[in-house]
Structure 1
Amino acid sequence: MRPRQGRHYSPLHSILARSILSGTDVLNSHKLSQIMNREGCALNQNSNKSLLLINEKRNNKQLHHDMHTGHWWWSTQGAVDKNAGPGRTILPIILSSDKTQVTVFRNKSAYPIYMTLGNIPKELRRKPSRRAYILLGYLPTTRLEHIKSDASRRRCLATCFIPACPGTTGIVMASGDGVERLTHPIFAVYIGDYPEQILVTCGITGFCPRCTISRQRVGENTDLHPLRDLQTILNALQSIDNGASAFVKSCKDAGIKPVFEPFWANLPYSNVFMSITPDLLHQLYQGVLKHLKLWIIEVYGAHEIDARCRRLPPNHNIRIFMKGIATLSHVSGQEHDQMSHFLLGLIADMPLPNGMSNVRLLRCLRALLDFLFLSQYPVHSTSTLSLMTSALDRFHANKQIFVDLGIRSNFHIPKIHFMNHYIETIKLFGTLDNFNTEYTERLHIDLAKSAYRSTNRKDEYPQMTAWLERKEKIMRHEAHIAWLLASKPPLLRMHWIPPGLNTSRMLKMAKHPSAKLVKVSDAVEKYGATFFADALSRFIVELESPNLFGRRLDDAVDSHFLGVSSVAAYHQPSRLDRKGNIVPGRFDTALVRINNSQGFENITQDLRVGQVRMVFMLSETDMRRLFHKVPVQDQPHHLAYVDWFTPFGSKDPNHGLYKISFCNVQGGRLSSVVDIRRLIRSVHLFPKFGRVAERAWTSSTVLESCTTFFVNTDSDRHMYRLFS
């Protein structure tokens, strides 16, 4: 069946996020069309094998990114084509729910449930401002004394999903471009934290919501267990006709709670246990990483860990916890994310207090960080999935160190076990940024908290839905007026490009320098640019005569007349503020390209770490005089004075960090002037603290006081990708 081109729908003006308590069908064609019309981005997927993007390969490596590159999409498409006929478009339904507080001092909460479609590209779904998610309804939060089991409340979702039965026969719907298609809405993914996963699957706390692993083996190793058998569980749910006792016993034998008619029981082409996806926020950041952080603090002591936190050098990617991390309470996922960027550097050279080797502890933390960063890749290949498998194996191979130290007696933690399901989920549904609870957590502000604040706090749900309805109408009308004012422009057909791992960076300098007149003597004394004149002369000679080397180059530099008395600097050294307090100077470290190639075939040979002492610019008069022999395209505009560190050596086999130190020469440090375009990016360094951190060091002085450092390859995702 080919899409019919003749009929077009006008924009839908009515949206009502109804409370499930009202018993109204809210999952209908209007709801689904609403999502498709918002961005006009529903994909026209059919059974044409030439559109099978799962076969997209680069260098003979299968790629996974958006949801349609997963095996689930195409196996379900094949089943629909076989049962209902070819030429049909499936609409994978993605649901998410989470209970949230809507007041600060009162015990008022809301339980919103959100919905989106897998046809929408993840670049739109992960931006709440693009409104790819809609509010499906509010689950009841009232305490009901006659209902003892919280899981029983999940039966309310069955009211929502009665209209989802067209997943079998299909329903004609229109997308954002007005074209009608025969579609099959199919429940595909449920996004939620561990308590939500247990409630949705009617599972038992402490067990895995996906597979059949026993409670005593959870978190032990990477052995995969089969998914829960859906047919067995459906048979147990149907035993309600045999009486309450038989029903409870059948459900207990099947490993679920006795819930009457869960919403997923009669949904076509759906398996709720397969639909449970990883949750980076709660499983890794608020789960495994949180546990590991607490265990490390217990091993080394809060006093020393906090002392090292306060002495990390500043970097725009690193948050300095000046009060330490051991005494923090109610730590958020964002804060755990910030800790993950420096946790390894705190213990890289720190021996265990009882004389045991710290090798296994370092390898365990290194493996977890590898798994954490790899799992956030926007695109995966067979190679990166193999790296994830290797990292998970290394984590389990070394975690026994915490048992030997007396910190743990076992690892029966469901969040540790669920890491085993990450790779298979990526193969089924695409990369993990397709389903992240961070997106829906942000929706709580607009669709729950703000809506509640607009009410009079009495009988709030009708008022909240009315407020949301009016707000949606205003936004739609605003978009319609903007479209009319733009003379009704047609929809733009943009060529879609798969996501990649390489990021493009553009250098952008401030329009005006911080100090317009800095004498050369001040550059030496205040900025620490000890060999400023000699380094600038060498830079000019090398630029004018690139064929000079060795002694001939040294002679040319010695005989070169510089004639520069002052420069304009783009940052200030140590100074006093208006209150008379000392503001220390900040001289960050950066990765500098040391050859003339544009790419990086070998990171450790093409790049080198340098401390940027000064970013400056010569006057126009000096530029014309000093660079008149240099072609215009090669003339620099902004320059940087850099103190060099030693070249990269080999990675440490345990913590995987590079050790470097300052290059010292007679009279100071080895330095150069470089074109600022050679600065690739900033880099964060960990001081080599030793057994005990030097208490005289501070965050602002540690780069000057310490001599040996470790390169922080975990400061952000781009840095990790660069050195992985």
Structure 2
Amino acid sequence: MSNDFACSGCSVSYKRINDLNLHWIKTNHPKCIKKSHRPKFSSQPFNSTPMISDKDEQDEPDQFVGDFFGQDYGDKDFPGFGTDKDDISSDKDNGEISGSDNDEPGYSLEPVWEPSRPQPAVVVESMDDDDMILTPPRRPPNVPLRNVPAHRDGIHVVKFGGQAGAAVSSSPNSGSQSFRNSSEGFNAYKASIQGSDRNQWAPFTSRMDWEVARWAKLRGTGSTAFDDLLAIKGVDEALGLSYRNSKELNHIIDSIPPRRPSFTREEVVIAGEAFDIYKRDILECIRALYGNPDHCKYMCFVPERHYAHANHTIRLFHDFHTGKWWWATQKAVEADKPGATIVPVILSSDKAQVTLFRNKSAYPVYLTIGNLPKEIRRKPSQQGQVLLAYLPTTRLEHIKNKVSRRQAVTNLFHSCMKNLLAPLETAGIDGVELQSGDGVVRRCHPILAAYVGDYPEQVLITTVFYGDCATCPTEKDELGDYPCREDFRSMADAVSAAKMIGTDVWTEHCFNSNIKPVQHPFWEDLPYTDIFRSITPDLLHQLYQGVMKHLIEWLSHICSAEEIDARVRRLPPSHGMRQFHKGITTLSRVSGAEHKQMCSFLLGLIIDIPSLSVHQSRKLLTATRSLLDFLYTASFPIHTTETLKSLDESLETFHIHKQIFVDLGAREHFNLPKLHSLAHYSRAIQLYDTTDNYNTETTERLHIDFTKDAYHATNHKDEYAQMTLWLERQEKVTYHATYIEWRSSCPPVSPPGLVSMQPIDMKCIYQQKFINFPSVKSVGLSKLEDTVENRGYGASQLTDALALTVLPFTSVPVWHSIKFINEDLYGKETLDVVLSRPRRYGADGQITQRFQFDVVMVKMKDSSLENEDLVRDMRLARVCAIFSISDKSLRTVLPSNLPPPKHLAYVEWFTKFNLNPDSITGLYRVKLQMKPDGTRAVSVIPASMIQRSINLFPKWDGPVHPSCTSEKMLDTCTTFFVNPFRNHHTYINIG
């Protein structure tokens, strides 16, 4: 039976759950622990008995009597937690909008768990330490370290030596070195389900019983609607269901053995107010992720170095195990505990709003491990992420003093996180035995490797001052300087300062370490963890919602918002590029996805700005282009030492030319934390690999499944108890579906992109895919040749292009689109679309669909992928019609030895690429190709020659003319620039 303990020297009381927590308190506060006589709290999971009744009797809560400082607070009592003027820089001061990433600068609480454990030495490896060649690995027999060869498809792999990843024991059925058998894990799960030997659908009675249950829980409209459906007379009998309502279905699902730990509730009291934290055991969550049999064949157990050449001169970074952090940490752990398997723990947290009104919010913490490939970690459907906890979202408004409230909120966060991560303090040093999905047991060391969050979250985690860099000690008024000459903040100094709490010099040492005086930061006792290195780049908030947002504002100020919007409205349409018909400067609450779409055409908006001189225009174009280059290069799914060099060169180019924004009145200085953070991208990629390993876009996506959907599934009363129970049932059903697929001898298809465990080919061959039936069954040749204003296709020279004197047909079937896929890399995902469609009119004669005839890249030469040069081997053309002609008709004009093409395309040509792009913008310039008689050069070509769509920027030649429209821009303009920023594939090939 648990008891309630309170520290008389602190304002927080703690409802103990186990004897270990009590030991912590007594060890750290032997003289000030007092035992109170409050109600007892249960730690049982929510799917058993209730925790506590709202009517339970309680003693009068202790009044807030202050903490180590005293009880009468002023600003000087809380250095680092002062007013907004002192703590949060204004927009004028640093260009950052307070609260732009979060509603509050941060949340936290005073410590209630204060363990006293010996701290292992902090690992501070230099960036070159992992380049040391270690001894060859000594593998136990029949225990694979990784199911890929040491040399694969031109990638040269060097594995960590020694006994890293060695097995403690393994099942006889765990598989060979080249194949990992997931049956071991699924068989254990099968044995835990009653009746599974006789019924593969157990605990459900039939396939229909299971399929309806899965639909109801994962795709259904809610329990009430499901009850109404089953209440219809005869429905359950007709379907043969074993349940008649949601309650009976939930009872069956609750009988399924859980693969992940249940949530428990703990109560924290601060200043007389009680707050709940809903949490899971972190080691059990790691055990569940590590032991998922569906993922065992993709797991990584030892760090590797990947090289592009046998001489090991160009290193590759693409997934977590290829980064320098894992190698350096493995070396440090191996020195103390040979045979260790590192489990890189990746945490992310962010406060999420769950309602549109009343500002109802939740504060989830997510967990994943770096042993899983990033393709699994990024997809919620692959169950590579676990909801670890819901933290208290309180603002502690009952604490009236502003600075004391801010300090208490910060301490709240760190106390909660310290409780969550406490098991890692021992497990990271001594290790814990974990069994992977193939039955192999290893001694694993779970170590906090990376913490993903936006800027306010980074400030909260590292306890640095708002407006400072969370990674390095650069001064606020030097954030705009480049290059950054500071190394990481000193973890040893920060821990030493934090350990001096309770002494007279604690605050002074915290200031000397340039951190806030926070009571027991959660990372102070975590082994092999450097919290300042663990802060990772954030593409979403730092670049799209930060630097690029500022850049758009600067360009709008310089070029005038009216001209920018006029050009945006007249950009030619292209697949995958959003058209902002009302412009972009007047938009409010712009999302990261919208900023990403704006970046794809941003450079084209500032070409030929009439109000700028030639010198100013060149400076502005160069600065803008360099930032866009940095953005697109930072987003690469695989990096090399060469691409990282290009990344730094792009940033250097921007800083060289950034003065143009000051000269034109758009900025006063560049001391922006988000802009400064770009200087750390190259170093972070080397440590933790590419930015898609730790992008906050994943966290934002998880909010939908784990927070918002969970909240809307409740009745909004005592919602967290319902949310956690709902999530547990969702996880059970999702995992059971994977088990059913395995048992049905239909193993789940590998997630698209998992072949990128060997790096993705940057050129990425597109494969055409036509729908089986034409968009229009029969279109007359005259309509194809008619103008778009007359509802035609504009293929005015079709008859001549076919080169037939007497046409044996008068109409042809027409397709309005070509889709492009790559099943090997991306499954059935549509990667690109080429549209060629006329206007569509409604019954009232109004236009319901604009015409669109896309520009495409046409392959003119046959060359291998390795030798392909898109600039030399390709031509641009505009597709006006896609059609087919019968084989019999084609035989009249084609030689008999040539196979007839299945689809043809009528295209209008652009001139060849100029092999030297524009020296300022780096863009290739093309023009409409004209014949001597002044008409456009056209051809009918096999549609198979079309490789992908392309987007063009018009050469504006001054202010936009009001008569120009987006539809007609490709007809009225004669000179264009090829847009390399349309997507990453285009940028990689012609950027």
Q: Distance in 1 between matches of 2:288 and 2:589?
A: 38
The AA in structure 1 aligned to 2:463 is C
Unmatched 5+ stretches in structure 1: 538-556
Q: Which residue of 2 aligns with 1:463?
A: 722
Is residue 857 of structure 2 the alignment partner of residue 591 of structure 1?
Answer: yes
Give runs of aligned pairs for residues 527-542 of structure 1, distance below 5 A: 527-537=793-803
Query: For residue 548 of structure 1, what is the aligned residue in structure 2?
Result: none
8 Å contact from structure 1 (residues 311, 702) kept in 2: yes
Whether the 8 Å CA contact 1:378–1:501 is kept in 2: the answer is: no
Greater helix share, structure number: 1
Partner of 1:546: none
**1:68 equivalenced with 2:233 (yes/no):** no
Aligned in 2, Cα 1:488/1:589: closer, same or farther, shift over 3 Å?
closer
Question: Which of 538, 542, 549 pairs up with 1:290?
Answer: 549
SS of the equivalent of 2:779 reads strand
Deviations 1:15-51 (A, max 9, x none): 324456467873443211111233433877666xxx7
Report the AA paired with residue 987 of structure 2.
Y
Q: 2: distance between equivalents of 1:136 and 1:569?
A: 54
For 1:655-694, what per-residue CA distance to the aligned partner results, in whole angstroms no more than 9, with x for missing partners?
1112211111215101111111111111111111122011
Contact persistence 1:170–1:184 (CA under 8 A): yes
1:679 aligns with 2:946: yes
Aligned with 1:40 (options 295, 298, 309): 295
Counterpart position of 1:407? 666
Q: Is the 8 A contact 2:279 2:388 kept in 1?
A: no
Tell me the equivalent position of 2:985.
718
Tell me: CA distance 1:575–1:274, structure 2 relative to 1, closer, same or farther (3 Å).
closer
For 1:427, the equivalent position in structure 2 comes to 686
Cα distance in 1 for residues equivalent to 2:406 and 2:510: 17
Q: Is the 8 A contact 1:518 1:566 kept in 2?
A: yes
Consecutive unaligned residues of structure 2, counting only runs of 5 or more, are 1-165, 173-183, 190-256, 268-275, 400-404, 787-791, 817-836
CA distance in 1 between partners of 2:342 and 2:658 (Å): 43
How far apart are residue 53 of structure 1 and its match? 3.2
The answer to whether 1:237 aligns with 2:498 is yes
Matched residue, 1:507: 768
* Residues 16, 468 of structure 1: 8 Å contact kept: no
* Number of the residue aligned with 2:877: 610
Pairs aligned (count): 694
- Post-superposition Cα deviations, 1:524-560, rounded to whole Å, max 9, x if no partner, equal 22333233233222xxxxxxxxxxxxxxxxxxx9xx7
Change (3 A) 1:325 1:233: same
Between 14-23 and 662-671, the greater mean CA deviation after superposition: 14-23
Q: 1:459-486: CA deviations, max 9, x gaps?
A: 3222222222222223333433443343
| Cα distance, 1:284 vs structure 2 | 0.4
3-state SS, counterpart of residue 598 of structure 2: helix
1:52 maps to: 304
Q: CA deviation at 1:229?
A: 0.7
Partner of residue 113, structure 1? 365
Once residues 463 and 128 of structure 1 are traced to their aligned partners in structure 2, the CA distance between those partners, rounded to angstroms, is 21
Q: What is aligned with 1:540?
A: none
Q: Look up the match of 2:902.
A: 637
- C-alpha offsets along residues 42-82 of structure 1, whole Å, 9 cap, x if unaligned? 877666xxx73345646741100001111110111111110
Aligned to 1:663: 929
The equivalent residue for 1:568 is: 813
Distance 1:510 1:489, change over 3 A: closer
Tell me by how many angstroms 1:381 deviates: 0.8
Choose the corresponding residue for 2:418, options 158, 164, 167: 158
CA shift for structure 1 position 104 = 1.2
Contact 1:309–1:322, Cα closer than 8 Å, also in 2: yes
For residues 179 and 323 of structure 1, do their structure 2 counterparts lie closer, same or farther at Cα, with a shift above 3 Å needed?
A: same
> In the alignment, is the contact (CA less than 8 A) between 1:311 and 1:698 conserved in 2?
yes
2:568 paired with 1:301: no
Counterpart residue number, 1:5: 170
* Range that drifts further, 280-289 or 675-684: 675-684
Q: Which has the higher contact order (CA 8 A, sep 6+)?
A: 1
The verdict on how the C-alpha distance between 1:339 and 1:710 changes in structure 2, with shifts beyond 3 A counting, is same
Identity %, equivalent residues:
41
Considering only aligned residues, what root-mean-square deviation do their CA atoms show, in Å?
2.5
User: Could you say which residue in structure 1 is the equivalent of 2:644?
Assistant: 385
Cα distance in 2 between the residues matched to 1:527 and 1:488:
47
Question: Aligned residue for 1:374?
Answer: 633
User: After the TM superposition, which residues 302-381 of structure 1 pair with which residues of structure 2 at under 5 Å, given as runs?
Assistant: 302-353=561-612, 357-381=616-640
Separation in structure 1 between the aligned mates of residue 703 and residue 912 of structure 2, nearest angstrom: 49
Give the Cα separation in 1 of the matches to 2:278 and 2:846.
Answer: 64
Q: What SS class does the counterpart of residue 663 from structure 1 fall into?
A: coil
Cα distance in structure 2, aligned partners of 1:2 and 1:711: 54
- Map Cα deviations across residues 180-202 of structure 1 (whole Å, 9 max, x no partner): 11100000000000000000001
Measured against aligned partners, the alpha-carbon deviations of 1:213-248 in whole angstroms (never above 9, x if no partner) come to: 1111002212231111111111111221313xx322
List aligned pairs for 1:444-483, cutoff 5 A: 444-483=703-742
Give the partner amino acid of 2:334: D
2:283 to 26, 29, 43: 29
Kindly provide the amino acid, as one letter, of the partner of residue 304 in structure 1. E
Within 2, Cα distance between the matches of 1:415 and 1:489? 41
Measured in 1, the distance between the counterparts of 2:954 and 2:265 equals 55
Q: Could you tell me which residue of structure 2 aligns to residue 212 of structure 1? A: 473
Are 2:463 and 1:185 equivalent residues in the alignment? Answer: no
Structure 2: distance between partners of 1:499 and 1:355: 41
Change (3 A) 1:46 1:16: closer
Separation in 1 of the partners of 2:442 and 2:278?
A: 26
Q: Secondary structure at the match of 1:636?
A: coil
Q: 1:18 to 1:609 in 2, by over 3 A?
A: farther
Q: Distance in 1 between matches of 2:892 and 2:295?
A: 58
Cα distance change, pair 695–168 in 1 and its aligned pair in 2 (3 A): same
The answer on whether the counterparts of 1:102 and 1:449 sit within 8 Å (CA) in structure 2 is yes
Q: Could you tell me whether the CA contact under 8 Å between 1:18 and 1:24 is conserved in 2?
A: yes
Distance change (3 Å), C-alpha of 1:46 and 1:115 = closer
Q: Tell me the amino acid that sits aligned with residue 331 of structure 1.
A: V
Q: Work out the CA distance in 1 between the residues paired with 2:733 and 2:937.
A: 63
Residues 119-154 of structure 1: per-residue CA shift (max 9 Å, x gap): 000111111211101001011111224443232222
The equivalent of 1:522 in structure 2 is 783
Preserved CA contact (<8 Å) 2:261 2:281:
no
Moved more, 9-18 or 700-709: 9-18
Q: Distance in 2 between matches of 1:613 and 1:490?
A: 38
Give the deviation of 1:491 after TM superposition. 12
Counterpart CA distance in 2 for 1:364 and 1:3 is 56
Aligned counterparts of 1:584 and 1:707: Cα–Cα separation in 2: 21
1:506, CA displacement in angstroms? 1.0
Question: Offset of 1:628 from its aligned partner?
Answer: 5.2
Deviation at 1:260, TM superposition (A): 0.9
**Cα pair 1:530 1:668 within 8 Å, conserved:** no
Q: 1:456 to 1:602 in 2, by over 3 A?
A: closer
Q: CA deviation at 1:520?
A: 3.3
What secondary structure, in the 3-state scheme, does the structure 1 residue paired with 2:852 have? coil
Identify if the C-alpha distance between structure 1 residues 626 and 350 changes in structure 2 by more than 3 Å, giving closer, same or farther.
same
Change beyond 3 A, Cα 1:466–1:580 = same
Deviates more, 1:615-624 or 1:642-651: 615-624
Matched residues in 1 for 2:458 and 2:610: separation?
A: 40
1:202 match: 463
Separation (CA, whole Å) in 2 of partners of 1:414 and 1:20: 36
Shift of 1:561: 6.0
1:209–1:661 Cα change, 3 Å: same
Query: Which of the numbers 141, 144, 148 marks the counterpart of 2:406?
Result: 148
